[in-house]
């Protein structure tokens, strides 16, 4: 049974959200609050009725959004106050990240904190003067509640409006002053940026538990991407050790779903035990990439196995019939966070036989009294399988198979529970990340089903979420809508490049180049360089922001920089590299604050080189080409680009391949590193020697 509130029939009166597509907005369509969706109708009403605007931003799988909704937005008394004092607007932050970023910055400026649900009160001209996150219905522990705050703001609006307007103007001025404006006149960034990035991450690494910093702990896979690249560049063993320790700790911890696979959002403690139980598509994509790349770097099967588990979870539970990927699964079921995932000891005993249960408690941290709330157990694996197998004196593969048999039993039993809500909207940017993850895994793990899934998703987006003019749309749910932002373009281009290198269908490389042109045309800052988050013809907000911070997901600017470099190597278009360096120079300030810019440092690592271009002459089915691809894909080589020359079509996109010829009719590799080309190689062994 899938618990999907957005599709459940509700006979109570509805508001203006009823015709929206967002599951989050539909969850609030029967609130007594007179919600508007974001749009001119709401702001015109605010001006006409001379009321401030109450903006509430959240998302469908947000636990505290649910709490505030139940306490306040479903409460008649609170709703009456809100309707009297404000024009009320609901925004799904996943549908409108541009609005979310803008007002989250305002909230952080005003309160020093951020998060969801985000509450902003603003003028009809969209200028904020009050900000908060979760607000209880009534005051407690020194915090004012909705019942106290609303009358106070209404009184100020009616009697001391100039005070509020002055505050709003000051906040807007501050946001304008702090809007980063990188300059293309800065010096070229160099390897010192990478050294500072490594030192910064090493300084906050948790050697006891893995990960970085203290509680709460987030996966932040792009930290690991950068450390892998730093290890590859310098041979610094501790960089790889930090990656492995973190990936192993997370895989053993409660942040991982040991029954259904996939990662929860973050850990509330330093030991990775108690997660915030929601599952986000972007976490699955980025974590799958981290495990795949670490498998390539180490050759350890445990990382390949985890990557497969994550991707198989997505294909099983998060994939639409059309091929696109759903956004998220909630932390809550039946109104209780984590209820779907937690086990009481007696439930495990009822599901497993005695021998299975005996083995299970050797593998997992299970207590009769529980290790979590209400006697429940969050499943956490005690030790790596290889260590347990050694103690039990059995083979690791045998132990893995026995564990899998137990897992399958628990999975079937858990399927009988009420499932968490699934947000089934399809977002272009997050789908781009998942396409990249599947394409990388298809190559490294030699799994054709992942390439097939990536193809289906890419074809769906290019057909259903692209306009006739070649512009992208951001969200699909029954129909596509909302103009795309920078992340949509950058992340999808990333996925299309990886997909091309997985299957060598030229249409994906061609689509990546066309989307890159649209991204440059509509998002590039011609004065200060870098990319704006919203398009030049997008919705008019207070500011047109640029985002450089690599937070839960990498910034669009970091990925766009990487894509410019990769497309240059694949196509030979030198102007793309020039744009990339303009952008990199503009990010010089990030070198002074490397924490929070780890994906940018990955892109800089590519820019600094050595970076290799490999042209393979032959077709995918040729035995020699297959052997060469296997050799390239089995090694961790993050800064390479591979073009397959089979027929004439690739020559139109990559003219440098037109004059290349096979040697003696054999599959042939041409390798150029930092614009210096080697003699052609006709065997995998000779080709790989060129990278020594």
Instruction: Give DSSP secondary structure letters for 230-289.
Output: HHHHH--HHHHHHHHHHHHHHHHSTTB-TTT-SB-SEESSTTS-SEE--EEHHHHHHHHH
Reported pTM: 0.95
Q: Rounded CA gap, 96 and 36, in Å?
A: 14
Question: Coil, strand, or helix at residue 659?
Answer: coil
Per-residue pLDDT at 83:
98
Q: Rounded CA gap, 379 and 269, in Å?
A: 15
Mean pLDDT of each 10-residue bin along the chain, 692 residues long: 45 87 96 97 97 97 92 97 98 96 92 92 95 92 90 95 92 81 64 93 97 95 98 98 98 98 97 96 98 98 98 98 97 93 96 96 94 94 93 94 97 97 97 98 98 98 97 97 98 98 98 98 92 92 89 96 97 93 78 84 95 96 97 97 94 92 96 91 96 78
Angle at 238 between CA 304 and CA 560, to 5 degrees: 65
Question: In this structure, how many other beta carbons lie within 10 angstroms of the beta carbon of residue 115?
Answer: 14
Contact 456, 320 (CB under 8 A): no
Question: In 292-363, which ranges are E strands?
Answer: 326-329, 332-333, 336-337
Q: Rounded CA gap, 643 and 564, in Å?
A: 16
The two structure tokens encoding residue 34:
């007179």
CB environment 399-431: b (16+ within 10 A), e (fewer): bbebbeebbebbeebbeeeebbbbbbbbbbbbb
Domains in the chain, ordered, with CATH?
Answer: 5-178 (3.40.30.10), 191-254+279-324+425-608 (1.50.10.20), 345-414 (1.10.10), 612-689 (3.40.30)
36 membership: H or E segment, kind and range: strand 35-37
The two structure tokens encoding residue 207:
């050697």
Per-residue pLDDT at 474:
98
Question: In this structure, how many other beta carbons lie within 10 angstroms of the beta carbon of residue 198?
Answer: 23
Question: In this structure, how many other beta carbons lie within 10 angstroms of the beta carbon of residue 383?
Answer: 13
Q: Rounded CA gap, 496 and 506, in Å?
A: 10
Contact 275, 266 (CB under 8 A): yes
Tell me the sheet residues that pair with 472: 466
Per-residue pLDDT at 181:
56
Contact 582, 184 (CB under 8 A): yes
Per-residue pLDDT at 153:
95
Question: Coil, strand, or helix at residue 454?
Answer: helix
Question: Coil, strand, or helix at residue 420?
Answer: coil
Place of tokens 């607007």: 89
Q: CA-CA distances (angstroms) from residue 534 to 97, 210, 487, 545, 546?
A: 9, 36, 9, 7, 8
Cβ-count burial of 203 within 10 angstroms (0-12 exposed, 13-18 middle, 19+ buried)? Answer: exposed
Contact 509, 653 (CB under 8 A): yes
Contact 304, 452 (CB under 8 A): no
Q: Distance between the two ends of the chain, CA-based, in angstroms?
A: 55
677 membership: H or E segment, kind and range: strand 676-677
Cis peptide before 216 (omega within 30 of 0): yes
Contact 242, 226 (CB under 8 A): no
Question: In this structure, how many other beta carbons lie within 10 angstroms of the beta carbon of residue 69?
Answer: 21
Per-residue pLDDT at 180:
56
Place of tokens 């941290």: 365
Sheet containing 480-483: order of strands: 279-280, 326-329, 422-427, 473-476, 480-483
Q: Rounded CA gap, 41 and 215, in Å?
A: 43
């Amino acid at each position: 049974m899938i618990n999907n509130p957005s599709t459940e029939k509700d006979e109570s009166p509805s508001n203006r959200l009823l015709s929206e597509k967002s599951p989050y907005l539909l969850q609030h369509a029967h609130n007594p609050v007179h919600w508007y969706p974001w749009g001119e109708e709401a702001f015109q009403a605010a001006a006409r009725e001379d009321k401030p605007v109450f903006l509430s931003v959240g998302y469908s799988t947000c636990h505290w959004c649910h709490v505030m909704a139940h306490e306040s937005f479903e409460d008649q008394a609170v709703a009456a106050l809100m309707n009297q004092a404000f024009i009320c607007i609901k925004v799904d932050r996943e549908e409108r990240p541009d609005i979310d970023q803008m007002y989250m910055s305002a909230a952080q400026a005003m309160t020093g904190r951020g998060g969801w649900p985000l509450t902003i009160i603003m003028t009809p001209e969209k200028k904020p003067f009050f900000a908060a996150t979760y607000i209880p219905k009534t005051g407690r522990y020194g915090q004012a509640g909705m019942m106290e705050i609303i009358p106070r703001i209404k009184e100020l609006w009616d009697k001391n409006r100039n005070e509020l307007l002055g505050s709003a103007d000051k906040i807007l001025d501050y946001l304008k002053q702090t809007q980063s404006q990188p300059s293309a006149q800065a010096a070229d960034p160099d390897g010192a940026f990478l050294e500072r990035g490594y030192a910064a991450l090493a300084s906050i690494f948790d050697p006891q538990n893995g990960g970085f910093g203290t509680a709460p702990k987030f996966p932040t896979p792009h930290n690991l991407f950068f450390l892998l690249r730093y290890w590859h560049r310098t041979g610094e063993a501790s960089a790889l050790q930090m990656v492995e320790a973190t990936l192993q700790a997370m895989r053993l911890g409660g942040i991982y779903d040991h029954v259904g696979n996939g990662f929860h959002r973050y850990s509330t403690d330093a030991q990775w035990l108690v997660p915030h139980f929601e599952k986000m598509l972007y976490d699955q994509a980025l974590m799958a990439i981290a495990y795949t790349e670490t498998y390539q770097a180490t050759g350890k099967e445990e990382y390949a196995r985890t990557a497969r588990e994550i991707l198989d979870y997505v294909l099983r539970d998060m994939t639409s019939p059309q091929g696109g990927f759903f956004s998220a699964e909630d932390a809550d079921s039946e109104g209780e966070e984590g209820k779907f995932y937690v086990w009481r000891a007696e439930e495990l005993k009822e599901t497993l036989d005695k021998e299975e249960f005996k083995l299970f408690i050797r593998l997992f941290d299970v207590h009769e009294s529980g290790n979590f709330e209400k006697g429940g157990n969050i499943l956490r694996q005690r030790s790596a399988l290889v260590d347990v197998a050694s103690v039990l004196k059995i083979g690791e593969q045998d132990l893995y198979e026995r564990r899998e048999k137990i897992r399958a039993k628990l999975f079937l039993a858990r399927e009988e529970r009420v499932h968490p809500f699934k947000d089934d909207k399809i977002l272009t940017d997050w789908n781009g990340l998942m396409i990249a993850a599947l394409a990388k895994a298809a190559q490294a793990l030699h799994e054709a089903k992942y390439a097939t899934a990536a193809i289906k998703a890419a074809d769906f987006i290019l057909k259903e979420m692209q306009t006739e003019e070649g512009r992208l749309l951001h969200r699909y749910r029954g129909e596509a809508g909302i103009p795309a932002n920078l992340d949509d373009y950058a992340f999808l281009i990333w996925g299309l490049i990886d997909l091309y290198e997985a299957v060598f269908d030229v249409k994906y490389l061609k689509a990546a180049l066309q989307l890159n042109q649209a991204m440059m045309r509509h998002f590039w800052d011609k004065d200060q360089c870098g990319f704006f988050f919203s398009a030049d013809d997008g919705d008019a907000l207070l500011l047109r922001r640029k985002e450089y911070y690599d937070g839960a997901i990498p910034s669009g600017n970091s990925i766009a920089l990487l894509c410019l470099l990769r497309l240059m190597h694949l196509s030979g278009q030198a102007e793309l590299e020039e744009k990339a360096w303009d952008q990199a120079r503009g990010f010089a300030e990030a070198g002074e604050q490397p924490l929070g810019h780890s994906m940018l440092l990955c892109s800089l690592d590519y820019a600094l080189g050595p970076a290799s271009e490999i042209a393979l002459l032959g077709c995918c089915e040729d035995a020699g080409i297959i052997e060469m691809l296997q050799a390239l894909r089995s090694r961790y080589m993050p800064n390479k680009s591979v073009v397959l020359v089979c027929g004439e079509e690739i020559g139109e996109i990559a003219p440098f391949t037109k004059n290349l010829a096979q040697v003696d009719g054999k599959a042939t590799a041409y390798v150029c590193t930092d614009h210096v080309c080697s003699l052609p190689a006709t065997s995998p062994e000779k080709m790989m020697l060129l990278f020594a």
